[in-house]
Chains A and B, each alone.
Chain A
Amino acid sequence: MIKKKVILTGSFGVGKTSLFNRFVYSKFDEKYLTTIGVKVDKKSLTIEGKEVTLLLWDIAGEISQDKVPNSYFLESSAIIYVFDLTRPSTYANMEFDLAHLEKMVPGVLVKIVANKKDLVADEELENVLKEVNKFPDVITSAKTGENVENLFVDIAKSLVSNAV
């Protein structure tokens, strides 16, 4: 069985825990219960006949990624960097944050996720996408579930093909 450590990180309140809960438990909560420290959970997927278990580390949000204890990142196979489409402060630091992540885990698979799509109109979305320094890999809504499964399944697929 293949097991991989996958990190969810980004600023606070962007929806990391919500994405995690949507994916692992298929549920969504409007209430905001901030994560303290780290929460580890797992989900198994079958990809091309192989069982892959993702060990998901849902990390407490930080305004800047250099505030996250470095050791959390070590030996992770993928990092999901989440920002909130409705709050510019959550993507203002993106360049710096991504550079930091690359320094912590050179060559790691990073997925940039723009979350809370349900809260922005198309036009607004376009504007935000023009503003961000790096185009997101996936645009999600933890609330409606849009693209959430895809996000994790894509990661699992990449990790399986790398493992061969």
Chain B
Amino acid sequence: MTISPENLDNKEKLAQLKRILLKDDREELVELRKALEEKEAALKDSVAPMIEEHIEFLKKNYPEEFRTAVDKQIETKIRDSQEELIAVIYPALGAMVKKYVAHQMALMRESIDEKINKKGPIGWFKRKVLGVKGSDWVMAEEGAPVVEGIYVIEKNSGILISSASGAETMDEDLMAGMLTAIRSFAEDAFMKGEQKVDTIEYDRLSIFVQSYPTFYIAVSLNGKMTQGDKSKLSDNLLEFVNQDLNRDVMMDNDSKELIIRKKLTDRFLIEPVSQSMKSIE
């Protein structure tokens, strides 16, 4: 299943939700609950009682400050915690929230871009275009996806086994954890063993995910992926998993993370440009 940002209807829904959420008094909060109950059958069971309980709790604990507390809370949530917001409304608001996921990823991308740009016009690394070797990447059609980072993540626990990326990004352990949490939630809440999310796309960013029995691999790419790209990357990953990774993840060795990182780097990412990077080889 591919997530992509293209449902105007849902955009309107989002705007509506925001309007409701940002209203500033208590009756409106009750209205919010009513609106949600009416509109989203699925939300009714999970979120409404939670809101109910929260209101009770807040009433008891913060009688005077009740309103400001709730306002602040909602405001802060909207502003700072898109990914958490995604997690809770994901199942009920389906496609709309997928957009949010995508948007979150876009924000992440922006911050990555920013960091790369700080390090020079192209960044430290040239990256291999999916399976295209060496300097061919320069020739690659503008817009063809380029691997930015690759993460090997333990299933369910979300623990990062190893990773390689072309720039210092956000904390990779946390990225792996949050990505896993979102997947876990989605799986539980509305996919129930059906097809899983394999690509999250937004603007120029894609995150491509492939699952194997004990771990999954997330690849972040700069650029939209065609079906052809996906199957190429998928084949490439599978070959790598069979040749190396299946064995490597079983290693009980304090260098496991680094060994895998080195292989990921060589295979999917990087042609070291600077001398310092060369000396690693």
Instruction: Give the interface of A toward B (CB within 8 A).
Output: 1, 3-5, 12-13, 31-42, 53, 55, 57, 60, 62-63, 67, 69-72, 74-77
Contacts and interface: CB of A to CB of B under 8 A. Distances in A.
B73 interface: yes
Given A12-B53, A13-B57, A37 B87 contact: yes
B212 to A, nearest CB: 15
B184 A42 contact: no
A71 B62 CA distance: 34
Nearest to B180: A40
20 contacts: A3-B173, A4-B159, A5-B159, A12-B50, A31-B72, A33-B77, A40-B158, A40-B177, A42-B174, A42-B177, A55-B173, A57-B181, A63-B50, A69-B188, A70-B188, A71-B187, A72-B184, A72-B185, A74-B184, A77-B157
A3 B177 CA distance: 12
A31 B69 contact: yes
A69 B185 contact: yes
B16 interface: no
Which 10 pairs show the lowest CB-CB distances between chains A and B? A37-B87, A40-B177, A71-B184, A74-B156, A75-B157, A69-B188, A75-B156, A37-B84, A36-B84, A5-B157
A31 B75 CA distance: 14
B174 A40 contact: yes
Helix, strand, loop or mixed for chain A's interface? loop
Given A12-B50, A67-B46, A55 B158 contact: yes
Interface string B182-194: 0011011100000
A103 to B, nearest CB: 15
Contacts of B2: none
Q: Using C-beta atoms within 8 Å of the partner chain, give the interface range for chain B.
A: 35 or more
A35 B57 CA distance: 14
Helix, strand, loop or mixed for chain B's interface? helix
B65 to A, nearest CB: 9
B184 A69 contact: yes
A32 B171 CA distance: 26
Interface in B144-200: 154-160, 171, 173-174, 177-178, 181, 184-185, 187-189
Contacts of A5: 157-159, 177
Contacts of B184: 69, 71-72, 74
Contacts of A42: 171, 173-174, 177
Contacts of B129: none
Nearest to B188: A69
A37 B88 contact: yes
A38 B87 contact: yes
Given A33-B76, A60-B88, A76 B157 contact: yes
Contact of B185 (A35, A37, A63, A77): A37
Contact of B84 (A38, A63, A74, A75): A38
Interface string B51-95: 001100110011000000100110011000101111110000000
